[in-house]
Amino acid sequence: GAYNPILDPILDNKWYHIKLDFETGVGVYKGLAADTFYITIDGIQYGPYPFNNVAPHVDKIYFTCNSAAVYNYYVDAIDYSWDPYYSVGRNVNPTVANMLGQYPGTYSFTNELVYAKDEEIDFVYSIGTGYTANILSSFDGYRKVITSLRTGSYIHYPYDPINRVSGTYEYWIQASSGGIMGLDLFEGSVGYMIIVDYDKDTNKIELYYGDGSGGNINIEVSVSGWAHVKITFDCVTDKFSAWVDGINYIANENFYSDYDADYGERIVLAGSTGILGYYDAISYSWDDNYLIGDNLHYNNFLGSETFENYNQTYPGDYYGTESFDYRTEDDVYYGTYDFRDEADGTSGTSIDFVD
């Protein structure tokens, strides 16, 4: 093999963002044939190119320089797709890229591992037969979301136990085509109290309520997909109110089928067989660290720490997103290895990246 110039010349004292996509087998990762790769420099993709040598796998990444002269070169925010916290492009911009698409909530899934499943996910107390749930790195502009899929006959819906007489909960919802999905409130496993269905085929949210004979309201939502739902409920009066995208559509109506509830026991993920439901920023008024309305927008403001002690203000350039168990800091480029915790002057194998 030989070296093939792609950018010539390059500039001194300029940072370049480089992304490598590679395939050593026949998995056609990113459409690549075996032993080929793409290289993307500052957003421009080149290739595919063949490997210099055929390899069954890649076992190390190392620094090299094709010159006998003395050069200093610098790297930052080294990121790997096999890092469970990775999402493509997260290290392109400092700080801002890590705010976009992160919506705060009691369950915003920020610290969940990508592809965590079923009861591994904090929100899912019990998955039940006939359902699966997974964490995705992102979906349709929202980062770290939970998705659920009904695979067939089931014993009960996957749920989070809340055991509340009254309160408010809110969330973002999206679904795949071909059926309906919803996030509902139950007493026990069959006590339908509040039903909210999302139908991707018609881009409608359907709200059900009781009025002696039962009723429902169909609400058109954005074709872009995500809809924001807020519900307040009271099991003393057996009534609830509902908002979709900030508009109040149901005000103090009876629970579904005039259900008489002692308390709301479960928040459940329900839906048609074979339909994917997507949810983000599921939030509860009884969460002391959450304020209702906080999940309407991703946090793009200075001075607020979110996801843990949400509304406490700190001096300095701390942004409104908790990311990778750290505050999101000014001018930090995030990656699997972003070196923010390495002491100045650390060298050799004392550096975490250097094996």
- Confidence category of residue 100, pLDDT binned at 50, 70, 90: low
DSSP string, 117-171: BGGGSTT-SB--TTEEEEEEEEETTEEEEEEEEE-S--SS--EEEEEESEEEEEE
Q: Identify whether 6 is part of a domain.
A: no
Rounded to an integer, the average pLDDT of 313-326 is: 33
pLDDT at 60 (0 to 100): 84
The per-residue pLDDT for 163 is 95
In the predicted structure, residue 298 carries a pLDDT above the cut 50 = yes
Asked if the structure places residue 69 within a domain, the reply is no
Contact 322, 98 (CB under 8 A): no
Query: What letter does residue 337 receive in the DSSP assignment?
Result: B
Residue 319 located in a structural domain: no
We report the CATH number of the domain holding residue 208 as 2.60.120.560
**Average pLDDT of the residues in 17-45:** 89
Residue 243 confidence (pLDDT) above 90? yes
130 in a structural domain? yes
1 within a domain of the structure (yes/no): no
Query: Cα–Cα distance between 355 and 342 in angstroms, integer?
Result: 15
For residue 105, give the DSSP letter. S
Per the DSSP assignment, residues forming a β-bridge with 133 are: 148
Q: Determine, yes or no, domain membership for 352.
A: no
* pLDDT at 2 (0 to 100): 65
Average pLDDT over residues 94-119: 76
CA distance 228 to 174: 9
Report the alpha-carbon distance of residue 61 to residue 213 in Å, rounded: 67
pLDDT band at 316 (very low <50, low <70, confident <90, very high): very low
pLDDT of residue 81: 80
Please report whether residue 37 resides in a domain: no
Say if 340 falls within a structural domain: no
pLDDT surpassing 90 at residue 303? no
- Mean pLDDT of all residues in the chain? 81
Structural domain tally of the chain? Answer: 1
Task: Tell me what percent of the residues of the chain surpass a pLDDT of 90.
Answer: 37
Q: Which residues pair with 319 in a beta bridge?
A: 302
- Domain, as residue range, for 157: 97-296
In this structure, are residues 304 and 322 in contact, taking their beta carbons and an 8 Å threshold? no
